[in-house]
Amino acid sequence: MALMGSSRLELSLLLVLLGASLLPESQCGVTFDKKTIVINGQRKILISGSIHYPRSTPDMWEGLVQKARDGGLDVIQTYVFWNGHEPSPGNYNFEGRYDLVRFIKTVQKAGLYAHLRIGPYVCAEWNFGGFPVWLKFVPGISFRTDNEPFKNAMRGFTQKIVRMMKNESLFESQGGPIILSQIENEYGPESRAFGPAGRSYVNWAAKMAVEMDTGVPWVMCKEDDAPDPVINTCNGFYCDDFAPNKPYKPSMWTEAWSGWFTEFGGTIHERPVEDLAFSVARFILKGGSFVNYYMYHGGTNFGRTAGGPFITTSYDYDAPIDEYGLVREPKYGHLKELHRAIKLCEKALVSADPTFTSLGRYQQAHVFSSQAGGCAAFLENYKTDSYARVIFNNMHYDLPPWSIGILPDCKNVVFNTAKVAAQTSLMQMSTANSESLMWESVDVNPNEGFLRDGQLPSLSVQSAGHALHVFINGQLSCSAFGKRENRRIAYTGDANLRAGTNKLALLSVAVGLPNVGVHYELWSTGVLGPVVLHGIDEGKRDLTWQKWSYQIGLKGESMNLNSVEGTSSVEWMQGSLAVQTQQPMTWYKAYFDAPAGDEPLALDMASMGKGQIWINGEHIGRYWTAQAPKEDCNECNYAGTYRPSKCQSGCSQPTQRWYHVPSSWLQPTKNLMVVFEELGGDATKIALVKRLVSSVCADVSESHPMIKNWHIGNDGKPEEVHRPKVHLHCPYGRTISAIKFASFGTPVGTCGSFEQGACHTPKSYYTLEKRCMGQGRCAVTITNDNFGQDPCPNVLKRLAVEAVCS
Catalytic center residues? 186, 255
The answer for residues whose C-beta is within 8 angstroms of residue 211's C-beta and 6 or more apart is none
3-state helix, strand, coil in the chain (%, to 5): 20, 30, 45
C-beta neighbour count of 596 within 10 angstroms? 9
> Is-cis flag, bond preceding 457, omega within 30?
no
The CA distances from residue 719 to 709, 711, 713, 714, 771, in Å, are 9, 10, 8, 10, 26
* Distance (Å, whole) CA 146 – CA 169: 32
Coil/strand/helix, residue 576 = helix
* Distance (Å, whole) CA 253 – CA 292: 6
The CA distances from residue 572 to 77, 549, 554, in Å, are 46, 28, 17
* Distance (Å, whole) CA 504 – CA 230: 56
Q: Taking a C-beta distance cutoff of 8 angstroms, is the pair 348, 370 a contact?
A: yes
The answer for residues whose C-beta is within 8 angstroms of residue 264's C-beta and 6 or more apart is 310, 311, 312, 511, 624, 626, 655, 656
Rg (CA), the chain: 30
Q: Taking a C-beta distance cutoff of 8 angstroms, is the pair 798, 700 a contact?
A: yes
Return the beta strands (E) in 382-526 as ranges. Answer: 388-392, 395-399, 403-407, 415-416, 424-431, 440-443, 458-463, 467-472, 475-481, 489-494, 504-509
Nearest to 600 by CA among 269, 250, 316, 285: 316
* Distance (Å, whole) CA 403 – CA 720: 27
* Distance (Å, whole) CA 803 – CA 791: 22
3-state secondary structure 706-756: CHHHCCCCCCCCCCCCCCCEEEEECCCCCCEEEEEEEEEECCECCCCCCEC
* Distance (Å, whole) CA 318 – CA 522: 33
Handedness of CA 245, 354, 706, 720 (dihedral sign): negative
- Nearest 5°: phi and psi at 129? 65, 20
H/E segment holding residue 348: helix 346-349
* Distance (Å, whole) CA 333 – CA 273: 10
**Within 13 A of 679's CA, how many CA atoms are on the CB side?**
17
